[in-house]
Amino acid sequence: MLMSNSIPDLPVTKDPVLSIEGLSLFVRTDDGRRLKIVENASFSIGPGQFFALVGESGSGKTMIARAVMRLVPDAVLEIDGSIRFGAYDLAHASERILRPLRGAEITMIFQEPMSSLNPLMTVERQLMEVIDAHGRFKGPEQRERIIELLRRVRFRDPELILRAFPHELSGGMRQRVMIAAALINEPKLLIADEPTTALDVTIQREVLDIIAELARDMGLAVLFISHDLSLVYENADEIAVLYGGVVMEHGPARDIIERPAHPYTAALLACVPHRRVKGSRQAGIEGSVPSVADWRQGCRFVDRCQQARDACRSGDIPLVVDGPRSVRCVAPLLLGERH
């Protein structure tokens, strides 16, 4: 076992599409303070890989996604570390470089599809707009490309959908239109920020399957943001668990779910409700997620952790690396026991 505070050499698929190293994010507040909201996060996503970033509200998962897209103005969000995408370092790239990348090489879908669609335009016009903006497809090719994409997101009758206005579509259909729009220019990276949260359970499954299938077939790297471990479990290749801006645990999806190494991951899994046998109760996690202003030295989870000890409350928490897995904990579960 190897213990270190430096960035580990995580298993990297040949030439990752996105490679984040030592990423820290700072937000400037109105009263001039500089709050650290993400601390030293590192991970990379290869082509065709479905990477899930899981965390509760306030864990910083959405801010990481927005930092990759550079959607937050520099005056508000300060980025430390590197976000490598091909030849570029997105963390420090200028707007001139970023502009042609957004919507073509890197695309994003959001939680609420209705607010991303223009209610006054038909689906056809909106998709045409996306395709026109980057000029990869011209003339009759454009319409063919749109129809093909609508088929890929499992619309049986794309022509019917093309003529529809967003309000005529159900939530699941709208999200599928958004996925089509996001993939129309053949991006290399898709960032999906809780795209299924606003959808019904029955539709959630299908939208997830579509994204996973497209990632496989098109060699697309997917950064999937979610608050629900049980949701991403089946489709994700890798999972990183975020808590209080720190990547607590990272590794192959199945491995993490079946043998969580961080007490937080384990507690989170124990929160997935099951049937109560003879009036038994599941405990849940006591307390609540600490807000950014309350972050102190040591481990962020310490106040809610069953395994907490003195070493958790001070200094840097070491990153324990074991093969493809890594965990930031003083006393990780399981990993140590095997050695």
Least separation in angstroms between residue 42's CB and another protein is 25
Q: Quick one: tokens of 142? A: 């454009």
> Using the rule CB under 8 A, is 204 a contact of another protein?
yes
Q: Give the nearer residue to another protein in terms of CB position, either 93 or 198.
A: 198
Q: Give the nearer residue to another protein in terms of CB position, either 169 or 246.
A: 169
Binding span for another protein by CB under 8 A among 86-94, 203-211, 212-220, 320-328:
203-211
CA distance 124 to 109: 18
The only residue of 27, 71, 98, 285 in contact with another protein, by rule CB under 8 A:
285
311, 338, 306: which is closest to 325 by C-alpha?
Answer: 338
Q: What is the DSSP letter of 168?
A: G
The only residue of 233, 245, 265, 305 in contact with another protein, by rule CB under 8 A:
233
Q: Give the nearer residue to another protein in terms of CB position, either 106 or 312.
A: 312
The only residue of 78, 89, 112, 206 in contact with another protein, by rule CB under 8 A:
206
Residues of span 68-107 touching another protein by CB under 8 A? none
Q: Quick one: tokens of 312? A: 């958790």
- Packing angle of the helix pair 123-134, 140-152 (nearest 10 deg): 120
Q: Give the nearer residue to another protein in terms of CB position, either 105 or 124.
A: 124
> Using the rule CB under 8 A, is 294 a contact of another protein?
no
- DSSP SS3 for 204: helix
Q: Are 252 and 323 in contact (CB under 8 A)?
A: no
Residues listed for the chain: 339
Per-residue mark of binding to another protein, 139-178 (x: CB under 8 A): ---------------xxxx--x---x---xxxxxx-----
CA distance 127 to 140: 14
Q: Give the nearer residue to another protein in terms of CB position, either 141 or 168.
A: 168
Phi, psi of 208 (to 5 degrees): -60, -45
Least separation in angstroms between residue 201's CB and another protein is 5
State which H helix or E strand residue 217 sits in: helix 201-218
Residues 6+ apart with CB under 8 A from 163: 122, 123, 124
> Using the rule CB under 8 A, is 303 a contact of another protein?
no
Residues that bind another protein in the complex, under the rule CB under 8 A? 56-57, 154-157, 160, 164, 168-173, 200-206, 209, 227-231, 233-234, 257-258, 267-269, 271-276, 281-286, 288-289, 304
